[in-house]
Amino acid sequence: MDLISEITALRAQVACWRLNGKKIALVPTMGNLHDGHLKLVAEAQLRGDRCVVTIFVNPLQFGEGEDFDSYPRTLDEDAEKLSQAGVDLLFAPAVEMVYPAGQAGQSQIEVPLISDILCGASRPGHFVGVATVVAKLFNFVQPDIALFGEKDFQQLLVIRRMTRDLCFPIEIVGVATDRETDGLARSSRNGYLTEDERQLAPALYAVLNAVAEKLQAGEDDLADVESSAINTLKEIGFELDYFTIRRVADLELPQQDDVELVILAAAYLGRARLIDNLTFTL
Ligand code: PAF
């Protein structure tokens, strides 16, 4: 596996593959890789001829007081895992390579409306940071397809829209959330959980499932279902950011005849902000 940190070297390698007719699959990450990332890699390898992974902890998507400084940076271990997994190229640029003129004057990409709700409301500017860096990574790598985890459901929709609106000729593939055996969605931030919190954490996914079952059984008072789920989670020890039932297409509130729904939750357990979701059909 090539480990590259310069854009020109990255482009030269990708151009060479492209000349040889290879299909390039990109998996953007912030590193501290777990099995969920490796699942994205495996899917990328199935769908493409060459797999490029990027590791970049993007300062632009972290707000003030968030965990940018303490976000785990484990490049050596990550590179080893990716090399074992048969990844062709790891691109791990420095902040100055991605933002050569600094972050303050950086042109930014805003995907309106969908970026302002849910995680975007709690983390103002977060999705501008995500859309901007993903557009840059798309531009650096120029892949044919790019893969993202469905755990970050809102992020996936933001990236799909950005790709459509800016006419990137890239297929966006969402990959099902990878879970621990007890249901907890794998996340780099699970490492922030204490042992006790780790025991409680799977309750989030259990409550998502319970809510989906209620709705599929015919319960139609969404506000009531949401508020009883919120109470259950609070009693367990979660500090709720949001817990909401939305429609899949645009994350707006469901209308009477909407049948493709998603339950989205974000909640703190101690220092860890956990997010999860469950899509279902009524
Ligand atoms: O999901 C992530 O790891 C990040 O938000 C991403 C897509 C790599 C952009 O920095």
Distance (Å, rounded) from C-alpha 230 to C-alpha 244?
9
- What is the per-residue pLDDT for 6? 98
- What is the per-residue pLDDT for 12? 98
- What is the per-residue pLDDT for 57? 98
- What is the per-residue pLDDT for 114? 97
Does residue 132's CB lie within 6 angstroms of at least one atom of ligand 1? no
- Closest by CA to 98, choosing from 145, 148, 132, is 132
Taking the centre of ligand 1 as the mean of its atom positions, its distance from the CA of residue 56, in whole angstroms, is 8
- What is the per-residue pLDDT for 139? 98
**What letter represents residue 268's amino acid?**
Y
CA-130 nearest atom, ligand 1: 9
Distance (Å, rounded) from C-alpha 273 to C-alpha 152?
12
Distance (Å, rounded) from C-alpha 227 to C-alpha 214?
13
| Mutation probe of ligand 1 site: the residue of 26, 27, 30 with most atoms within 8 A of C-beta | 30
Taking the centre of ligand 1 as the mean of its atom positions, its distance from the CA of residue 157, in whole angstroms, is 13
Distance (Å, rounded) from C-alpha 204 to C-alpha 185?
9
Contact in structure between 172 and 157 (CB atoms under 8 Å)? no
Domains and CATH numbers, the chain: 2-175 (3.40.50.620), 188-281 (3.30.1300.10)
SS (H, E, C) the chain: CEEECCHHHHHHHHHHHHHCCCCEEEEEECCCCCHHHHHHHHHHHHHCCEEEEEECCCHHHCCCCCCCCCCCCCHHHHHHHHHHCCCCEEECCCHHHHCCCCCCCCCCCCCCCCCCCCHHHHCCCHHHHHHHHHHHHHHHHCCCEEEEECCCHHHHHHHHHHHHHCCCCCEEEEECCCECCCCCECCHHHHHCCHHHHHHCCHHHHHHHHHHHHHHCCCCCHHHHHHHHHHHHHHHCCEEEEEEEEECCCCCCCCCCCCEEEEEEEEEECCEEEEEEEEEEC
- What is the per-residue pLDDT for 79? 98
Catalytic residues: 37
Q: What angle do CA 85, 35, 120 make, to 5 degrees?
A: 120
**Atom 9 of ligand 1, residue of closest alpha carbon:** 130
Distance (Å, rounded) from C-alpha 263 to C-alpha 254?
11
Contact in structure between 89 and 41 (CB atoms under 8 Å)? no
Taking the centre of ligand 1 as the mean of its atom positions, its distance from the CA of residue 109, in whole angstroms, is 15
Does residue 29's CB lie within 6 angstroms of at least one atom of ligand 1? yes
Q: What angle do CA 125, 147, 150 make, to 5 degrees?
A: 65
Does residue 43's CB lie within 6 angstroms of at least one atom of ligand 1? no
| Mutation probe of ligand 1 site: the residue of 58, 66, 115, 172 with most atoms within 8 A of C-beta | 58
Q: Sort 187 into a burial class: Cβ within 10 Å, 0-12 / 13-18 / 19+.
A: buried
Q: pTM of the entire structure?
A: 0.96
pLDDT tens digit at each of 282 positions of the chain: 999 999 999 999 999 999 999 999 999 999 999 999 999 999 999 999 999 999 999 999 999 999 999 999 999 999 999 999 999 999 999 999 999 999 998 999 999 999 999 999 999 999 999 999 999 999 999 999 999 999 999 999 999 999 999 999 999 999 999 999 999 999 999 999 999 999 999 999 999 999 999 999 999 999 999 999 999 999 999 999 999 999 999 999 999 999 999 999 999 999 999 999 999 999
Distance (Å, rounded) from C-alpha 94 to C-alpha 215?
47
